[in-house]
Chains A and B, each alone.
Chain A
Amino acid sequence: MALASAGALVAVFAGLAAKALPGHHTVKVTQVRASATQRQAVAPPLVPVEAAAAPAAPASAPAPTQAAPVVVSGGT
């Protein structure tokens, strides 16, 4: 946020300077770009991916059955 404000201020001054001193316009634009680059370098805090263990076992294993199946599990 501070960097964004600083960048905005630089942009304001760059605009004023460009009107008053057209020959210095390029220098001021460079300062704005430097500020933007600096802001991008500050990465937002990343939350670690859940440190989940390996896939969890079911409550019970599949059991043999003679019942008629309702669905087929197979490759897609």
Chain B
Amino acid sequence: MTLTFRALGTTGVIATGDPARLGDACAAVERELTAIDLACSRFRPDSELSRVNRAGGERTAISPVLLEALRVALTAARSSGGLVDPTVGRTLRTSGYDSTFRVVAARDGNTFRAEFCSVPGWETVELDEVAATVRVPAGVELDLGATAKALACDRAANAAAVVAGSVLVSLGGDIAIAGPAPDGGWPVRIADDHAAPLDGPGPTVALESGGLATSSTTVRRWRSGTDALHHLVDPRTGRPAESPWRTVSVAAKSCVDANVASTASFLLDDAPAWLEARGLPARLVSIGGGRAVVAGWPEDTE
């Protein structure tokens, strides 16, 4: 039993093993997503993150939700060697991703001109977990897009599982599973675009636990003159990542871990080896359509 909804600027899906508990699961998921949106949205002027970005270098008191989101973002930055960096906010904004993607996509790319900024680096963020405050230097803007949606998935699935048992939550194709999976696991189709139809092309795999994330440069794209841009920023250049891959799917212990790995894979010199060394099952699709699977991800059968 599934329910589809809109949240955090994308499409969400809730599935429960027991159809009778779908309503309870939805209520729990909605509470979590509302909390994450109020804390972490870069596009809401009333969000906590917007307030931090406007603080001009002053220390700001933050809620437990934003504290967790920042802790997750900084941990992701450290564990990825800085490849997944929350201080890409300014260059994302000046390069054109300055509003919800519906607005960005509707802009006239012929007249828009992107500008790029250097990325200050996650080490500039001062998070004081004891005092529940954060300070970012004036001019530094945080974007939690690489981790907050995945964190929302994990939190929502865990909250829903308390009231509904077996649960799958998807946000824009990032998936978290909580509670015991149904017999045979949760079947998930893999595609370039999470909005692809369920009966479209692409392999289907079964998940028993944890999280699954797919990152792709084929979907969230816009134009600056003749240049095609996308949202996966390389912190080393402040520009959209140049990668041999177009879509990477990773399974991990949590949706956050899966998303960190799938995002970092676009920036690594040898993503398959990095994923294999960490035991992260993954499927990588190259720009030309070639496919690689690592760490136990099943070969495509179609």
Contact = CB atoms under 8 A, between A and B. Distances in A.
A61 B126 CA distance: 37
Interface stretch (B19-27, B29-37, B136-144, B278-286): B278-286
Q: Chain A binding site: helix, strand, loop or mixed by DSSP?
A: loop
Nearest to B264: A55
Interface in B228-275: 247, 249-254, 256-258, 260-261
Contact of B298 (A64, A67, A69, A76): A64
A52 B189 contact: no
A26 interface: no
A22 interface: no
Nearest to A40: B59
Contact of A75 (B200, B220, B250, B261): B220
Contact of A72 (B130, B194, B301): B194
Interface of A: 43-47, 49-76
Nearest to A69: B189
Contacts of B126: 43, 46
A49 B75 contact: yes
Interface size class for chain B? 35 or more
A73 B78 contact: no
B196 interface: yes
Contacts of A63: 185, 205-206, 208, 298
A68 B187 contact: yes
Nearest to A62: B205
A44 B127 CA distance: 10
B79 A76 contact: no
A-B pairs with lowest CB-CB distance, top 3: A75-B216, A61-B296, A76-B172
Interface of B: 2, 10, 13, 15, 59, 71, 74-75, 78-80, 126-131, 133, 149, 168, 170, 172-175, 184-198, 200, 202-220, 247, 249-254, 256-258, 260-261, 278-281, 295-298, 301
A62 to B, nearest CB: 4
Nearest to B129: A47
Nearest to A67: B187
Given A52-B75, A68-B187, A62 B10 contact: no
B173 A72 contact: yes
Given A53-B79, A76-B216, 18 more contacts: A47-B130, A55-B256, A56-B257, A58-B253, A63-B206, A63-B298, A67-B187, A67-B206, A70-B198, A71-B13, A71-B170, A72-B191, A73-B175, A73-B213, A74-B247, A75-B173, A75-B218, A76-B149
